[in-house]
Amino acid sequence: MSDNAEKSTALYDEHVRLGARVIPFGGWKMPVQYAGIVQEHHAVRNAAGMFDISHMGQFIAEGSGAAAWLNRMLTNNVDKLEAGSGQYTLLLNDKGGIIDDLIIYRVGPERFFLVVNASRTEEDLAWLNRHRPAEVSLHNRSDQYGGVAIQGPKTEELFAKLLGAPGKLPARNQILDTEINGVPISIARTGYTGEDGVEVFFPAKQAATFWNHVLDVGKPLGLVPCGLGARDTLRLEMCYPLNGSDLSPEHNPIEAGLGFFVDLTKPDFVGKEVVARAKAEGPAQKLAPFRMEGKGPPPRPHYAVLKDGQRIGEVTSGTLSPSLNYGIGMAYLSPENAKIGSKIEIEIRGQKFPAQIEKKPLYKKT
């Protein structure tokens, strides 16, 4: 994709003003960092950080039969959602491969709000529309919404100030409509960092107003703007998969370690047969987290994974963990090689560096 084909979020001018380094990501010009990835990472683990997530796609599905239809399209069980709650779920193809991972919120009896990955927005829409019954409408509202993730242990304190009273945040995985500084917002208690936090959606036109107000109020608490770089190190410490790197149509949810978000007791859903078989027979491969042992360069995507000199896979995600101060990553490996404690090697510029399969999450809050 060429430079001029990339879209800017409603917060783009704020990023530039704050001195962010901007990179192309999923068809968007996004801030990768402001002050620095490590500093932003620690701010989220110790205080709070705010990320622009306006690039993510938002759909509204509604109409008679919307719940039943979405239950056939998605792996998790929509019937378990009461109005105002959400769940992490997966959109699969006929072969059980992962098209996208997303969060679905029930906002009315037959009305749903879906938040999808930026790079998959068009593909998701096309796939959903191909299977959509006439009674259910599906609207892409991505252009109308801006969004931020506010993450970190200071989130509650920050929102007590923003909302003028403590205890007004929704519970984990719940979504709530309210207003801050004259901006109508939906707040969801969700995130991608392993810290307490929220994801907030608002009209794109008021994005800058909201962003700057939160930065002002949050500054005394240690809130800083954070880019995609810290978002990636934070999520990888938690072993949260990234679509396009760790998740792809070549892998099913059982291989990706996401069986918890698949309800095989549902009568049917797209890809069920393949997932049920992978679950019953055991997956051919498993997405396994690993850590580097001893000193060495950080692992990065596409580096070869070896065992006894033989190539057994490749790194899907890898970085230096700012919290742990050693290299961490994930790779699809055979169940045997993916066992916790299994010794592997990562090939970096022609040299082999020892690593070991770990339990997830790689980072645990103490």
Partner 1 sequence: MNVPDDLLYTESHEWIKREGDKIRVGITDHAQAELTDVVFVELPKIDRQANAKEPIAVVESVKAASDIYAPVKGKVVDANKALESNPALINTDPFGEGWLFELQFENEADLKSLKDAAAYKAQIG
Positions that interact with partner 1 (CB under 8 A): 32-33, 36-39, 229, 233, 295-298, 300, 319-320, 322, 349
> Cα separation of 231 and 9, whole Å?
17
Whether the bond between 267 and the residue before it is cis, its omega within 30 degrees of 0, is no
Q: Which is nearer to partner 1, 60 or 304 (CB)?
A: 304
Q: Which is nearer to partner 1, 270 or 305 (CB)?
A: 305
Q: How far is the CB of 146 from partner 1 (least distance, A)?
A: 25
Q: Which is nearer to partner 1, 153 or 298 (CB)?
A: 298
Q: How far is the CB of 93 from partner 1 (least distance, A)?
A: 31
* Pairing verdict, β 223-226 and 48-52: parallel
Q: How far is the CB of 230 from partner 1 (least distance, A)?
A: 9
Q: Which amino acid is at 33?
A: Q
Q: How far is the CB of 34 from partner 1 (least distance, A)?
A: 10
Helix H segments across 101-243?
121-130, 155-162, 207-218, 228-237
> Cα separation of 103 and 240, whole Å?
14
C-alpha separations of 137 from 63, 84, 141, 142, 158 in Å:
6, 20, 12, 15, 37
- Note whether 345 and 291 are within 8 A (CB): no
Q: How far is the CB of 52 from partner 1 (least distance, A)?
A: 17
Q: Which is nearer to partner 1, 28 or 127 (CB)?
A: 28
3-state SS, one letter per residue, for 255-289? CCCCHHHCCCCCCCCCCHHHHHHHHHHCCCCEEEE
Q: Which is nearer to partner 1, 20 or 138 (CB)?
A: 20
Q: How far is the CB of 228 from partner 1 (least distance, A)?
A: 9
Q: Which is nearer to partner 1, 33 or 186 (CB)?
A: 33
